Amino acid sequence: MNTRLTILAASIFIMGGVTQATFATDAAPSGHPGTSGPELRYKGAPTSMKPEDTQDVITPKAPALTADEFTRSKQIYFERCAGCHGVLRKGATGKPLTPDVTLPRGTEYLKVFIGFGSPGGMPNWGTSGILTDAEIDMMARFLQHEPPTPPEFGMAEMKASWKLKVPPEKRPKKKMNNLDLENLFSVTLRDDGKIALIDGASKKIVSTIETGYAVHISRMSASGRYLFVIGRDAKIDLIDLWMEKPAVVAEIKVGMEARSVETSKFKGFEDKYAIAGTYWPPQFVIMNGDTLEPKKIVATRGMTVDTQEYHPEPRVAAIIASHEHPEFIINVKETGKIMMANYEDINNMKITEVEAARFLHDGGWDSTHRYFMSAANASNKIAVVDSKDQKLAALVEVGKIPHPGRGANFVDPKFGPVWATGHLGDDSIAVIGTDPKNHKANAWKVVRSLKGLGSGSLFLKTHPKSKNLWVDSTLNPDAGISQSIAIFDIRNLDKAPEVVNIADLANLGEGPKRVVQPEYNKAGDEVWFSVWNGATQESAIVVMDDKTRKLKTVIKDKRLITPTGKFNVYNTQHDVY
């Protein structure tokens, strides 16, 4: 970045009440050898939104862009920026970037923020070397034009992408392999476009299976036979675990970008339906559970819960299957609404709309599987939804930017049954009472606030048979913190946590070595961690003994390329967390 922009950056931040020292800290290296701060926090991903398929809208007062610059800018935006600012640039985790905001700021001002980042979490794309000066100038001009809108993706497009590779009638009538399916792990190989199936006993890779890019989650059918995998590119793969060698039997693309998939679990509807929600277009689709044939698409565009303004891009985040009714419970991110879609009769589908708070993200069940605990991360709240009575039970104030994954259920020695979440924005761990029947005074309140290692926590986990609570801090900018985990003793939560550097135990070479997502085996006596390195660097899975908190084994294999999420079949099938 040139001297003029550096001086401008200082003046902008001083005028905004932020010192240059604070600004410089935000732009400093991450402390992870071989990786930059933006790569650590906001790793870009190839996008299935084709820039040439979006229409360029020239804004008269905006600075000029060539056709090639428009195409390149759209690609950078969809890959690097849309996840936070939204496809239509209306804002979500990141601020709005529409012309009414960007034009008054001007090109030079925008170049500073793109290049240097901000203390509020905007990555320093320029000083980190991710974007060149020319690309930053191009993006600053691009952001002053009206946002290009990607094409819709409807039933015709879904059916065109749908492939039924092995029809149900040609699949095995019984399990044809010797795998212990209940202790099998589906492991995301994020940058390799695959998952690995790993045997929980031998710790060996059974097979790797090609899937969509950057798999977000794996989900199990109610029967435990079918594994559903969805990538950020909105491609779903249906894997039959009964086959002699588990393989994809159906696939479909449900949109341009997605995060969530789930299957029906209510009694009498096991394995009948699957559902997927997309970031673009903003909608969800219900499919046949054993073929992925798309049956019904429902849009999520609508009014926000607070200002009651229309939002054109409310993305679908977490989806969870109700155990109380034949319903899917769907988080609609930007509107702050939770939709309870009854699939008993999808041709006359009833949807109960629950007003919560923005921006809804992830969450999971309490221990009774009645209450859905959902993070509204922009509001710093946990929304508690009563799936039996089909209404909001409470909004609980927690720390900054809650990110629970599915959360962690345990019995607090003082306050009874609780559910916990960590946070991206601070080092607190909120412990919320979840028993309105026997511990009414503690229900839907933060009964404890534990102090973790630092901000940037993505997941925490315990098990009904465990006395430990394991908490990661994957996105913390300090390498010592993001490579370590905190272990709390559930029996004595006033005691400081034990800290273990998981990355050191893996004994890998250079790289960011981010430690992410504790996951238990079926027995609840092992905890698995991914040590997530760069695509060309060695990664590993570290298995810890839950009782002793000591290293049990390290899984290394050249096929373990960028492992992130791990999903034990039994625990995922039965919502054990």
- Residue in the structure block whose two tokens are 């404890």: 448
Q: What is the pLDDT of residue 63?
A: 96
Q: What is the pLDDT of residue 119?
A: 58
Buried-exposed string 85-97: b where 16+ CB fall within 10 A, e elsewhere: bbbbbbbbbbbeb
Of 85, 216, 311, 423, the catalytic one is 85
Question: Tokens for 536?
Answer: 């060309």
Catalytic residue flag (residue 139): no
Query: Which is the catalytic residue, given 1, 122, 158, 373?
Result: 122
pLDDT at 21: 30
- The answer to whether 142 and 131 have CB atoms below 8 angstroms apart is no
Dist CA 521 CA 572 (whole Å): 10
Cα separation of 561 and 568, whole Å?
19
Q: Are 220 and 230 in contact (CB under 8 A)?
A: no
How open is the CA angle 569-562-218, to the nearest 5 degrees? 25
pLDDT of residue 243: 98
Q: Quick check: 339 and 355 in contact, CB under 8 A? A: no
Three-state DSSP at 26 gives helix
Which distant-in-sequence residues (6+ apart) come within 8 Å of 121 by Cβ? 41, 93, 94
pLDDT of 16 reads 38
- Distances in Å between the Cα of 500 and the Cα atoms of 204, 216, 425, 467, 484 are 24, 26, 22, 17, 5
Residues in the chain: 577
Alpha-carbon span 202 to 190, nearest angstrom? 23
Phi, psi of 335 (to 5 degrees): -80, -20
Indicate if 122 belongs to the active site: yes
Angle between helices 20-27 and 107-116 in degrees, nearest 10: 60
- The reported pLDDT for the residue numbered 395 is 98
Catalytic residue among 81, 220, 256, 544: 81
Q: How would you write 494-507 as a 3-class SS string?
A: CCCCEEEEHHHHHC
Task: For residues 434 and 372, give the distance between their C-alpha atoms in angstroms, rounded to a whole number.
Answer: 10
Spell out the residues 6+ positions from residue 36 whose beta carbon is closer than 8 angstroms to its own: 29, 30, 128, 129, 130
Q: How confident is the model at residue 419, as a pLDDT?
A: 99
| CA–CA separation, 405 and 385 (whole Å) | 16
The 498-501 sheet, strands edge to edge: 460-461, 468-472, 484-489, 498-501
Catalytic residue list contains 145: no
Q: Angle, nearest 10°, between helix axes 3-15 and 20-27?
A: 120
The tens place of each residue's pLDDT in the chain, 577 residues long, gives: 554 545 444 444 333 333 333 333 333 344 555 444 444 444 445 555 666 667 677 788 999 999 999 999 998 998 888 878 888 998 877 889 999 999 999 999 999 989 988 755 677 888 878 899 999 999 999 999 999 888 899 999 999 999 999 999 999 999 999 999 999 999 999 989 999 999 999 999 999 999 987 899 999 999 999 999 999 889 999 999 999 999 999 999 999 889 999 999 999 999 999 999 999 999 999 999 999 999 999 999 999 999 999 999 999 999 999 999 999 999 999 999 999 999 999 999 999 999 999 999 999 999 999 999 999 998 999 999 999 999 999 999 999 999 999 999 999 999 999 999 999 999 999 999 999 999 999 999 999 999 999 999 999 999 999 999 999 999 898 999 999 999 999 999 999 999 999 999 999 999 999 999 999 999 999 999 999 998 899 999 999 999 999 999 999 999 999 999 999 999 999 999 9
Assess whether 325 carries a catalytic annotation. no
Closest CA to 364 of 408, 395, 332: 408
Q: Give the whole-angstrom CA distance, residue 493 versus residue 414.
A: 10
Candidates 191, 303, 194, 212; CA nearest to 257 is 212
Catalytic site residue from 32, 145, 361, 423: 361
Q: Is 81 a catalytic residue?
A: yes
